[in-house]
A and B are shown apart, each in its own frame.
Chain A
């Protein structure tokens, strides 16, 4: 582990060198909001962003990703994407989400399409400078990350600290001009940033300890809240779309004009959409909005944690902002279940 001190000019030059070496996807301003996009010049980078519209997941699990090319006679060829690239300025909660996806795509039957993109990525995390309106990463332990990244940028008064790790980190450090190690005072200021972020990234206060959420949900299957909230749900899937830990997908074929060659690709799907569990012939195995709405909170709080041992909500707050009906606040949902236990459930 090495930590370097960069002043603003050094940072700009370093980002410029990254851009010259590889495609760099970083945070840019788009109207009044922020998005991850391809950086053409260092000046575009906005490390002081609050939250991006979509999470950086889209570069590892793209909204649309070609899996196979097919030719007449049912010949399928795998299409791989392994061109190295850099993700620059990923907030800790979004990085935790990517690490969760790593576990999910790797477990049992490894998905080599995901894994190749992931290996091709050099990820530079940036500590949060400006808290977004709905962030609650501080409540779910994702305000700060201490390992598994390739680089970590933290704002300190007149510049940034850059910590690098591993082989990819060495490559990042090799592009620094006259690198100077951070001193003890600067490292201490970085600790203050972390301490502060843990405290302040709590725009909503989760009252259920994350490790107790699974048990709470097991008791809450019949809670009236699911029906009550879902009555307002448009089944639009916006909460799925903006979520850094959602990874459900559909697979489709697209043929070229000759109709015999084409690609099989996957696209993001969402469990809130009405036809998500519908089979050919029209039977829908999750037909009600309440059941679909509940499924999402169970996946985040129980089902995925059973698979990977971590809460699958990282507290980015994007779903809260995106939901037109105002029903997608996970903190509000989980707190309600805790504060108003359902009578039938409590009796068990």
Chain B
């Protein structure tokens, strides 16, 4: 400890200083979500893994943690899908191609695409914008298709108008061995698909719990029910991964806002193996 304090060297990087990035493309997704394709001005790739997040910054407004929704296999640009929900995201929604943002990160843990998921069947279970970070893993799996077994994608949206990435489902399924099921909480006049909460999709798939890994991401209320549904089908907590939202203000394990009990989510999360957090009272 004394070494760093007594050091005359003051060359350490500033952990709070964002890197400039440029908006390359903006796409409207729903009434409240937009997709932004970004590129770091340095030309470097972001260097992330699926499931990690960045702190997005607009000078004068502030920063917010946003999960990365594209896979590192898709080149040096990266994509964020942003729901308009607070002051920063409201401002982000006004950005056009050519505009600048600040980026810190990538931060946090990732879906174990190169370890636990590899060689296994994979179930992705996503509610609403929970599909945003998971899409990064789906792309990663699609781009390395032979490394994985059967893939199940279960997606639940509030209404048909809230569905995300609708023009990509076909591509996700095209390599084969992919089961894509979706449902909406509340149908509209034109919806002919399933209606009901996401847990209703779990009994619809056939899988071997011994060689399957599940990834869950969605609104806070969703986790308990999905976990119960998976355990009823014989899934062990060791094979279930969850991505948890918290207020990750600093991203570097200092500011305290994202803590689940003793765990700084920005450091040990947002992706957790379920068996490692079941005794944490504040987790789920």
Contact = CB atoms under 8 A, between A and B. Distances in A.
A250 B249 contact: yes
Contacts of A253: 59-62
Interface stretch (B15-23, B44-52, B173-181): B15-23
A280 B90 CA distance: 11
A302 B280 CA distance: 13
Contacts of A280: 64, 85-89
B209 interface: no
Contacts of A278: 247
Contacts of A102: 1, 5
Given A277-B246, A277-B257, A251 B102 contact: no
A248 B64 contact: no
Contacts of A196: none
A262 B12 CA distance: 24
A70 B281 CA distance: 40
A298 B261 CA distance: 8
**Interface size bracket, B side:** 35 or more
Contacts of B102: 74, 76
Contacts of B281: 221
A105 to B, nearest CB: 7
B232 interface: no
Given A68-B17, A279-B246, A302-B262, A251 B63 contact: yes
A116 interface: yes
Given A73-B20, A285-B282, A109 B62 contact: no
B253 A109 contact: yes
Interface in A214-236: 221
A291 B283 CA distance: 13
A111 interface: yes
A111 B259 contact: no
Contacts of B17: 68, 76-78
Interface residues of A, number: 60
A346 interface: no
Contacts of A221: 281
Given A250-B255, A281-B86, A285-B282, A109 B15 contact: yes
A335 to B, nearest CB: 22
B18 A74 contact: yes
Interface string A140-173: 0000000010000000000000000000000000
A110 B10 CA distance: 12
Contacts, number: 147
Contact of B254 (A68, A111, A286): A111
Interface string A96-130: 00000011111011111101101100000000000
Contacts of B89: 280
Nearest to A295: B259
- Give the dominant DSSP class at A's interface: mixed
B219 to A, nearest CB: 8
Contacts of B254: 104-105, 109, 111, 247, 249
Interface in A55-99: 67-68, 70-78, 80, 82
B251 to A, nearest CB: 9
Given A291-B282, A298-B262, A110 B250 contact: no
B224 to A, nearest CB: 15
Given A253-B61, A298-B261, A113 B16 contact: yes
B60 A67 contact: no
B57 A112 contact: no
A34 interface: no
Nearest to A291: B282
A277 B1 CA distance: 30
Contacts of A251: 16, 62-63, 249-250, 255
Interface of A: 67-68, 70-78, 80, 82, 102-106, 108-113, 115-116, 118-119, 148, 221, 247-253, 255, 259-260, 262, 264, 266, 269, 271, 276-281, 283, 285-286, 291, 295, 298, 302-303, 306
